Structure 1
Amino acid sequence: MKLAPGARECARLAEPTNIALVGNPNSGKSTLFNALTGLRQKVANYPGVTIEKKIGVFFDLHGRRCQLIDLPGTYSLLPSAPDEEITCEVLFGARPDTPVPDAVVCVVDATHLERGLYLVTQVLDLGLPAIVMLNMMDLLEEAGDRLDVAELAARLGCPVIPCQASRRKGLVELRTALSQELSPGRSFCRQCPALVEESLARVAADFPEERAERRRLCALILGAPDPQRLAEVLAVTHLLPSLREEQERLEAKMPDWRQQTIAMRQREIRALTAEVLRKSPVIGRSATDRLDHWVTHPVGGWLIFLGIMGTMFLAVFEVGAGPKDAINALFAASAARLEKLLPAGDLRDLLTEGVIGGAGNVIVFLPQILVLFFFLGLLEDSGYMARAAFLMDKVMSRVGLQGKAFIPLLASHACAIPGILSARTLSDPRDRMVTILVAPFASCSARLPVYVLMIAAFFGGRPGTGLGEAGIVMSLYLLGLAAAFGFAWLLKRSFFRGRPAPLVLELPPYRRPSLRTISAQMISRAGAFLRRAGTTIVAISVILWWLTAYPKVSGEDRSAQLAGSFAGQIGHWIEPVIRPLGFNWKIGIGLISAQAARENFVSTLGVLYAGQSERGTGPTSLSQALLADRWPDGRPVFTPLVCLTILLFFVFSLQCVSTVVTVRRETASWRWAFFQFGYMTFFAYVISLAVYQAGRAFGL
């Protein structure tokens, strides 16, 4: 059936334009992506934040729907890490789940123009229509440099748009450019050593004719040291025999042919940069250099690092205390109101103890978690995180890892899953595997509610000093990192032998943190936390309430009801295993529920100890109920020693099914996922057992 001209135009507009967003790490791709699409993808002032492709939608000036694909950062189309392979696969049209881009937006850090243009020229060689976005033009101008944008556009043969993504400058110009007909820019794959040209001609002759516009660059890439993976990406594995033959010929006649080919491209880019960029004649140390003198100092840098961490944890307790108390009072008032409105019975107990009690005992920690995320956002957006990785390089090298592996560990303090995913930025497979296996030792935000509750019980149910609480939490975080370093050392000397790769990490300039970006990230994380509290945690709390309420035991004694319930029967069955740690069956039930999410431990105890203290939720009232619990012989269950043992168990154990599944996906093996769960749980049990039994021996 033929469509009328108007219908054909409507159909054309209905089809989305696929646009790939590429650039060097930390060039501002994700910031531009968020500004265009209105999404809240994580952005930070250090490389390696985007570790898989993200897709959003916006509309050009004609109302045409554009699908924007934010790809992991890379310096070249010769991938050295799994995240960079994603970028190459999408640009080469080798991913079945992603169409070939109709256009490519190349984001270039204007303060590092020459480095950014290397990737731009490779994209232009692909024959795809491209637009260059010169980000961070404000920093270039502040340095006194001047860039001839019009001349650069003429030399590249494609639109070049100055922008400042963090302030949404240049977005209208980008939409205007995308609304126009784009044509491929100038190819830079023109000059190669003569012997390489001959080999390229022979290999390129075998490329499919429909891909002739890309065959020269594809031939160059397939001439990389390991062409097997790229041949699979490009679906041209039939070329491998001839490629290896040409490689052997070139190695015999010109051993440095790869370096010479790269050098010729770099010389051409350097000449282009010299023509369009006028550097400021003023030479002096920048503010970033002056700050780095102290921040990366072998002694002063560590003092600054510890001071920042101490301030962050102190703020978690001091700043988050007021809002936490307000939320606690709100949930307590809601439960009291329901008790007055509903008659006594299972329905009232389900709502007050199962739903409100279960969710309330976790949600009260939201302010403290948000304070933690706020400080992490400040450190990420300012550029300090990269300095922390640089500072840790010497420590990391002693355990067999490169300093860049510290970035996944830092990311794991928010959640282990993005930390594990960010290990894709590590080029060495051994370093990547070891980092994945030790990343969950970093204390994630889900552990914070457990820490706060146990610290409250440790201080006898009375609020301790903010400095003391912050010191304990900081010690737990450092203890987790120490365990990560220790097992990294062990794994690198057993299963994954090899020398650590040298640290190659860009130290980005310090920037003023964007409160809009940080606030957006905090809102996103708060929403995720509340969704989990309103779904998973409430569901588990309701199930636990049912397990504690049935079967019914005659009499009014709640302790007898708990002991005879389904939950009591399960708890008493596992109690012999955990009794040597000082844990009773109720703690055991909490450990089981924590496998779904660590914060479930708190909500579980809230359900199990409901009605055993004055009405209320939160760490203070719940800790009072914990302290009132007794063993059959009258001894208190939650002594300071037991609270310390629980803290140590949660520092070292892996209690998160989502993390196990993620590790399986990243390692492509259940064997490594179960190995990680097993060795972390065993280590947590042994350490907790040793501490508790030693404490008992000393009369604690």
Structure 2
Amino acid sequence: MSMSSTTAPSATSAVAVTLVGNPNTGKTTLFNALTGLRHRVGNFPGVTVEIKSGKADHDGHPLMITDVPGTYSLSPRSPDEMLAVDLLLGLLPDTAAPDVIVCIVDASNLERNLYLTTQVLELDTPVILALNMIDVAEHNGDHIDVDQLAEELGIPVVPIQANARRGLDDLRRRIIETAGQAAPTKRPVFADAFQQEVDRLEEWLSQRGGEKTPRYLLERAILDAGGSTEKRLVRLAGGDVTKVLTEARERLKAAGCPVPAVEIRSRYQWIVERLAGPLRRSTERKTTMSDRIDRVLMHRVWGLVAFLALMFIIFVTIYSIADAYFMGPIDEFFVFLSDGIGSFLSEGPLKSLIIDGIIAGVGSVVIFLPQIMLLFAFIALLEDCGYMARAAFLMDKLMAKCGLSGKSFVPMLSSFACAIPGVMAARTIEDRRDRLTTILVAPLMSCSARLPVYLIMIGTFIPAVTLQDYVPAFPGADLLGFFSLQGFVLFCMYMIGLVVAPLVAWVLKKTIIGGETPVFIMELPSYKVPSLWIVVDRVVDRGWAFMKRAGTIIFASTIVIWALQYYPRSSETINEYAQRRSVLETQRELPQANAERIDEQLTDLDNEEASTLQAHSFLGIMGHWIEPAVRPLGWDWRIGMAAIASFPAREVVISALGTIYSVGGDVDEESATLREELQRATWPDGRPVFTTAVAVGLMVFWALCAQCLATLAVIKRETNSWGWAIFSFVYMTGLAYVAALVVYQVGSRLG
């Protein structure tokens, strides 16, 4: 693994460069500045992180630069963190080991950032220290002697300002010079007792045979009890390795070198000694602009008020502006496209496939883009300016009660607009268990797609009265006269997710996901003006990732649902309605005919035919199949069929109900005709299908169910596993079913 005997690369071979660094050190800014956004994203099985790589050059020397996610240390405790270590060690298949590792540190927080650097020094690869934010350090009164620091660390040190693109030419030149040189020899030295245990473990493994394990991973196996490195050794050498490691840790403890304290003590002692000469801090602590801003934004009262106000603005923007200025025009465009293409096609399966399958499928994918891109634009702005770390800190104490950290709040709040960007926003959470738990509970928030169901059920079956009418004798009942019952029910529907999600998160963390609430450690970076390039890059990257990966699944599912709704086609039914349509069209040609009235009858006949054909389609058959299961909820086969038809996207349920009840598929939640048909719907014995209990139970089911393949596809994308997507569907559907059952059964008995 050592590079001591390598030679400098030729001008034609690309130098492999890997960027590592703590979060908020400007690593992504540096990567974008070096590559000019010419990068691609690589995904690896079993992990949720993405590795970006891009090309650059310096004086004819090509560079292949790889950017791994920000991390505070190279102590792998999850497959995601193990990926970064394997990449740096050159252990990934079809991926070469780096020729040079560039470690980016925040010059204003040098001592803490160098902890990761000390681990990188042990990888037997040439290392360059990129001293970023040098201007911030100087503004704080800190002076760093770069040449002396390079001598103390034994590696090149290059001061840069990534956001201003200063020092980049010098960094590129040093990369070319460093590639092929010997690996650094200066590094923290652990106690002799620790080195002896590593030697003993290496000898024990060699006796077992198999592939040689890098010494760095052997050290990590001893230091990180239960970590990914130990699990890997168990897979390679069997369960006996756990006993060997446990005995080694016990001997180290007896020798006064307990793990992991021995690592922390040794590294920070070495860092303090190396910085004693090069770093001179000002004796007077300056009050920075960030300090003055934090007096308000980190205040225990005003900070929370400011945070909630900011989240409200983001929520309203995504929920309202995306719908009014983007989603509406997109929907109108696809309607226009459907009408235009449909006018050139004759009735039949081809027209239905193109209009109801392909165009509707593409539209159902594109319609989500505005919300996704707006949300990630806000997240990128907040992250790059330095506020996102403050927001996570403010909410951490509240989220910790359900086993999560403060970083889970923004994804969950974002899911009120749409669960898709909310789930995608969870990738900012470093802890794997927290990230997975957040992904699994975020869809419980009532997104905008659920609103049409709420509105039509509330408007049709909830009386337009005030709360005062229900509790006239209640003390202070006069105040309740300002609150409508319909508004209160809508409020309750949105509160269901806020109440249930923390409970589900707590159960998940106590059971299948496991793990204690992680200690929340986060450095608060200085505020700065966000980089437009970084914001644009992240927005485009997330939008393209959704279109390319989740979008294909959504499109395919839409085609499947179309086929289930369209087939089989009964020729007898089609001929019957064709004859009835012919009779009406003949009557329309008579001089005394009421053309307007006959046109209405023709429209009603078309809707009736669509309803009849759908009732006998594969989807209708499935609705009859599941009726025994949904009857305890007060549902008939038509409601069950609408639930199945809306699986690709929840908002489809209204048009599905419109088709089933013969009022047309182009209705919305404001349709008076659809509301009348729902009120008139009856069981075979004449009982009404929809009652207040059924309507409320249906809304509760929709508030908790997983009727959104788009969300499930993104869960699969973010977890790299269909298992978690299927788990989400099963647990959410089961939870929704039980809740709707309780509501209907109790509500029916209470009248």
Q: TM-score under structure 1 normalisation? A: 0.77
In the aligned structure 2, how far is the partner of 1:145 from the partner of 1:265?
22
Partner in structure 1 of residue 519 of structure 2: 502
Write the deviation string for residues 80-113 of structure 1: whole angstroms up to 9, x where unpaired.
4543333233333444453322221111122211
Task: Give runs of aligned pairs for residues 365-514 of structure 1, distance below 5 A.
Answer: 366-403=369-406, 414-415=420-421, 418=424, 425=431, 432=433, 436-437=436-437, 439-443=439-443, 448=447, 450-454=449-453, 457=456, 479-492=496-509, 500-514=517-531
Which amino acid in structure 2 is aligned with residue 156 of structure 1?
L
CA contact (8 A) 1:451 1:473 kept: no
| Matching of residues 588-599 of structure 1 within 5 Å | 588-589=640-641, 591-592=643-644, 597=648, 599=649
Is 2:740 aligned against 1:681?
no
The separation in 2 between residues aligned to 1:609 and 1:641, in whole angstroms, is 21
Range 574-583 or range 312-321, more displaced: 574-583
Match of 2:274 among 265, 272, 275: 272
Q: Give the alignment partner of residue 22 of structure 1, picking from 20, 23, 34.
A: 20
Give the equivalent residue in structure 2 for 1:351.
354
Q: How many residues align?
A: 659
Unmatched runs of 5 consecutive residues or more in structure 1: 1-8, 43-49, 209-213, 427-431, 462-467
What root-mean-square deviation, in Å, do the aligned CA atoms of Structure 1 and Structure 2 show?
4.8
Q: Secondary structure at the match of 2:97?
A: coil
1:127-175 superposed Cα distances (whole Å, 9 cap, x missing partner): 3111222223343344343333333233333332233334444443333
Report the equivalent of 2:540.
Answer: 523
Pick closer, same or farther for the CA change 1:141–1:612 going to 2, 3 Å.
farther
- Quick check: 1:124–1:186 contact (8 Å CA) kept in 2? yes
Q: Which whole-Å CA distance do the structure 2 matches of 1:541 and 1:122 have between them?
A: 49
SS at match of 1:180: helix
Match of 1:103 among 72, 97, 100: 100
Mean Cα deviation higher: 602-611 or 351-360: 602-611
TM-score between the two structures when normalised by the length of structure 2: 0.72
Which residue of the partner structure matches residue 313 of structure 1?
Answer: 315
Question: 2:160–2:166: 8 Å Cα contact kept in structure 1?
Answer: yes
> CA shift at 1:654, angstroms?
3.7
Shift of 1:686: 1.9
Counting only pairs closer than 5 Å after superposition, residues 40-79 of structure 1 correspond to structure 2 as: 52=49, 54-61=51-58, 63=60, 65-79=62-76
Is there any run of 5+ residues in structure 2 with no aligned partner, and where?
1-6, 42-46, 207-212, 461-484, 578-604
Q: Which amino acid aligns with 2:25?
A: S
> 1:562: how far off?
2.1
Structure 1 position 121, deviation (Å):
2.8
What is the identity percentage for the equivalent residue pairs of Structure 1 and Structure 2? 34
1:19 aligns to what SS in structure 2?
A: strand
2:334 is the alignment partner of 1:331: yes
- In structure 1, distance between residues paired with 2:157 and 2:487: 50
Structure-1 separation of matches of 2:264 and 2:342: 75
Residue identity in the other structure for 2:176 = S
Distance verdict in 2 for CA 1:332–1:439, change over 3 Å: closer
Q: CA deviation at 1:291?
A: 3.6
- Of residues 523-532 and 124-133 in structure 1, the stretch that sits farther from structure 2 once superposed is 523-532
Q: Given residue 519 of structure 2, which amino acid in structure 1 is its aligned partner? A: P
C-alpha displacement of 1:540 = 3.6
Mapped to 1, the partners of 2:268 and 2:569 lie a distance apart of 76
**1:429 equivalent in structure 2:** none
Aligned residue number for residue 113 of structure 2: 116
Would the alpha carbon gap of residues 635 and 378 (structure 1) be closer, same or farther in structure 2, given more than 3 Å must change? farther
Bigger-Rg structure (1/2): 2
Report the counterpart of residue 602 of structure 1 in structure 2.
Answer: 651
Q: 1:275 to 1:588 in 2, by over 3 A?
A: farther
Q: Distance in 2 between matches of 1:323 and 1:143?
A: 44
By how many angstroms is 1:486 displaced? Answer: 0.9
Structure 2 CA distance for aligned equivalents of residues 397 and 287 of structure 1: 30
2:73 match: secondary structure: coil
Matched residues in 1 for 2:668 and 2:165: separation?
43
- Give the whole-Å Cα distance in 1 for the aligned partners of 2:289 and 2:379: 22
Mapped to 1, the partners of 2:61 and 2:451 lie a distance apart of 51
Q: What displacement does 1:680 show?
A: 2.5
1:575 aligns with 2:627: yes
Which residues of 2 match residues 281-296 of structure 1 at below 5 A?
A: 281-296=283-298
Contact residue 162 and residue 170 of structure 1 kept, 8 A: yes
- The correspondence for 1:561, drawn from 613, 618, 623, is 613
Tell me the distance in 2 between the aligned counterparts of 1:40 and 1:650: 41
Q: What's the CA shift for 1:610?
A: 6.5
- Structure 1 contact 24–116 (Cα < 8 Å) conserved: yes
- The amino acid across from 1:441 in the alignment is V
Q: Deviations over 1:178-200 (max 9, x none)?
A: 33353235433365546556667
* Cα 1:695–1:60 shift into 2, 3 Å: same
Cα distance between partner residues in 1 of 2:98 and 2:443:
40
Q: 1:578 to 1:113 in 2, by over 3 A?
A: same
Secondary structure of 1:68's aligned partner: strand
Secondary structure of residue in 1 paired with 2:54: strand
Q: Is the 8 A contact 1:328 1:617 kept in 2?
A: no
Alignment of 1:179-194 (within 5 A): 179-182=176-179, 183-184=181-182, 186-189=184-187, 191-193=189-191
- Give the aligned residue type for 1:328: D
Describe the superposition over 1:346-393 as per-residue Cα deviations: whole angstroms up to 9, x where unpaired: 433443333334544664454345434433333333333333332333
Deviation at 1:54, TM superposition (A): 0.5
Instruction: Name the residue aligned to 1:92.
Output: 89
Distance 2:232 2:550 in 1: 42
CA contact (8 A) 2:40 2:52 kept: no
Contact preservation (8 Å) 2:403, 2:516: yes
Using the TM superposition, give the Cα deviation of residue 28 of structure 1 relative to its aligned residue in structure 2, in angstroms.
2.7
Q: CA deviation at 1:573?
A: 2.3
Distance 2:540 2:486 in 1: 26
Instruction: Give the distance between the partners of 1:359 and 1:503, measured in 2 at CA.
Output: 42
Q: 1:382 to 1:654 in 2, by over 3 A?
A: farther
8 Å contact kept, 2:188–2:266? no
- Greater relative contact order structure (CA < 8 Å, 6+ sep): 1
Summarize the Cα distance change of 1:292–1:582 in structure 2 as closer, same or farther, 3 Å threshold.
farther
Task: Give me the whole-angstrom Cα distance separating, in 2, the residues matched to 1:476 and 1:32.
Answer: 45
Secondary structure at the residue paired with 1:69? strand
Q: How far did residue 59 of structure 1 move?
A: 3.4
- Going from structure 1 to structure 2, the CA distance change for 1:29 and 1:158 (only over 3 Å counts) comes to same
1:551 aligns with 2:569: yes
Distance in 2 between residues matched to 1:60 and 1:349, nearest whole Å:
52
* 1:226 pairs with 2:278: no
Point out the more displaced range, 329-338 or 605-614. Answer: 605-614
Shift of residue 693, structure 1, vs aligned partner? 5.4
| Cα separation, partners in 2 of 1:266 and 1:364, compared to 1, 3 Å | closer
